[in-house]
Amino acid sequence: MKKIIKNGIIVTAADTYKADILIENEKIGLIGQDLSDPGAEVIDAEGHYVFPGGVDPHTHLEMPFGGTVSKDDFETGTIAAAHGGTTTVIDFCLTNKGEPLQNSIDQWHAKSKDKSVIDYSFHLMVGEMNDAVIDQLPSVIEDEGITSFKVFMAYKNVFQADDETLFRTLEEAKRLGALVMVHAENGDVIDHLVKKALQEGNTDPIYHALTRPPEAEGEATGRAAQLTGLADSQLYVVHVSCQEAVERISEARKKGYDVWGETCPQYLVLDQSYLEKPNFEGAKYVWSPPLREKFNQEVLWNALKNGELQTLGSDQCSFDFSGQKDLGKGDFTKIPNGGPIIEDRISILFSEGVKKGRITLNQFVDITSTRVAKTFGLFPQKGTITVGADADLVIFDPTVERTISVETSHMAADYNPFEGMEVTGQPVSVLSRGEFVVRDKEFVGKLGSGKYLKRARYGDFKLSSEEQLTIK
């Protein structure tokens, strides 16, 4: 059925204006003044913003980690994402050395396809780069539409790849038209610092942060950026947390290297002191990179404002405090890394960013949606409000004041790291391809209604007709 969203203020990465939107056949059919259609349902958005649905470039739903599995799966995780104004997630498909990549991709399809309530796509982790892997990459890109590869420079003996793997991945990405993503921390140095801490009997959660210093992130970020320049390739640094890493990205961009940076809401509003909370509660804030000293928050806000960092991911990877995080009592290295963030990503950036004058409303849309869609080959099908784009829309009340709490959250974990935080603004209704997923703050979507998205090659634009227009 057709729908018309009337009287809302449309906000894109470029413009803010009042207009109506006609939705037809899952897409935006028309934008204009005083639209009417006798067959259309009318939705009044007076006093509300209408944003393009958020695109979260960084989630770990139902991901095995440290002997357990992240709590939010593609059901609870995408329902929570929708409540938070996100209509597309790109999740990380993990792989195992020596095994066919397709096996891992099939596993990720199996756990998402009957559950996801919003559209989704995958990045592929690369743990080794040899002839056998290289042979499989064309099919990963062409058949699966997976055009981004993730390399871990940390988690020694688990996910960590060596520099040869990173460099060869950059070369292959250049050749095939993919984007290389890095978790940039020096895993060898961290491994040494961790061993030393444990030998000295330092087992509390705060040592998670103290053994992963900002220099280790800055060094790995700089190394990855240099190797990107050498390979004349393209790089996206996930979850940038500190000044040292921002500086390395900024330097690389000034040299003309094709290097992008993402930060996450947790680094913008929380700091290292949270890991010192008593009764082991610091474990709720254990993820990597760790929370940093408070002055880094302003560095990250400024980097978003001036474009040194371009996107906001949630790095959603939730674990219960009770039964999962507490696996690390008496040994911080056994605390599963990650937190429940997916639902609050957009609200925090709006409230702390736009409302506090740190970024503009249009920057906010760019950072949470448009730039992500462009970087990961989903634009203009996703990430903007334009005729022909998917009708993924968020009707947002910019005035409501509320307190973030686990009590009202839709994520599955038993705590919320932003508990008690006062925010202004909230998504009221959220549509995915023209259908309500959330209506008047109630979930009305359908499990399995989310579609898997094949993405365009890096630098290409994806048209809604599945045609691809090369702009290089």
Q: Given the rule CB under 5 A, which residues bind Zn ion?
A: 315
- For the chain, give the secondary structure using H, E and C: CCEEEECCEEECCCCEEECEEEEECCEEEEEECCCCCCCCEEEECCCCEEEECEEEEEECCCCEECCEECCCCCCHHHHHHHHCCEEEEEEEECCCCCCCHHHHHHHHHHHHCCCCCCEEEEEEECCCCCHHHHHHHHHHHHCCCCCEEEEECCCCCCCCCCHHHHHHHHHHHHHHCCEEEEECCCHHHHHHHHHHHHHCCCCCCHHHHHCCCHHHHHHHHHHHHHHHHHHCCEEEECCCCCHHHHHHHHHHHHCCCEEEEEECHHHHHCCHHHHHCCCCHHHHHCCCCCCCCCHHHHHHHHHHHHCCCCEECCCECCCCCCCCHHHHCCCHHHCCCCECCCCCHHHHHHHHHHCCCCCCHHHHHHHHHHHHHHHCCCCECCCCCCCCCECCEEEEEEEEEEECCCCCCCCCCCCCCCCCCEEEEEEEEEEECCEEEEECCEECCCCCCCCECCCCCCCEEECCCCCEEECC
Q: Which is nearer to Zn ion, 341 or 373 (CB)?
A: 341
Q: Of 315 and 366, which has the nearer Cβ to Zn ion? A: 315
The answer to whether 173 and 149 are in contact (CB under 8 A) is yes
CB of 287 to Zn ion, least distance (A): 8
Q: What are phi and psi of 118, to 5 degrees?
A: -135, 165
Question: How far apart are CB 375 and Zn ion at their closest, in Å?
Answer: 16
Closer to Zn ion at the Cβ: 13 or 237?
A: 237
Question: Which is nearer to Zn ion, 105 or 238 (by Cβ)?
Answer: 238
The smaller minimum CB distance to Zn ion, of residues 12 and 316, is found at 316
Burial, 334: exposed, middle or buried (Cβ in 10 Å; 0-12, 13-18, 19+)? middle
Least Cβ distance, residue 314 to Zn ion (angstroms):
9
Shortest Cβ distance from residue 187 to Zn ion (Å)?
14
Which one, 3 or 284, has the nearer CB to Zn ion?
284
Could you give the CA distance from residue 135 to residue 141 in angstroms, rounded to a whole number?
A: 11
Q: How far is the CB of 286 from Zn ion (least distance, A)?
A: 13
Query: How far apart are CB 58 and Zn ion at their closest, in Å?
Result: 6
Closer by beta carbon to Zn ion, 340 or else 445: 340
Least distance CB 337 / Zn ion (angstroms) = 9
In the complex with Zn ion, the residue whose CB is nearer, 75 or 315, is 315
The least distance separating Zn ion from the CB of residue 166, rounded to whole angstroms, comes to 17
> Which residue number, 90 or 349, has a Cβ lying nearer to Zn ion?
90
Q: In the complex, which residue's CB is closest to Zn ion?
A: 315
In the complex with Zn ion, the residue whose CB is nearer, 72 or 315, is 315
- Least spacing, CB of residue 57 vs Zn ion, in Å: 10
Least Cβ distance, residue 345 to Zn ion (angstroms): 13
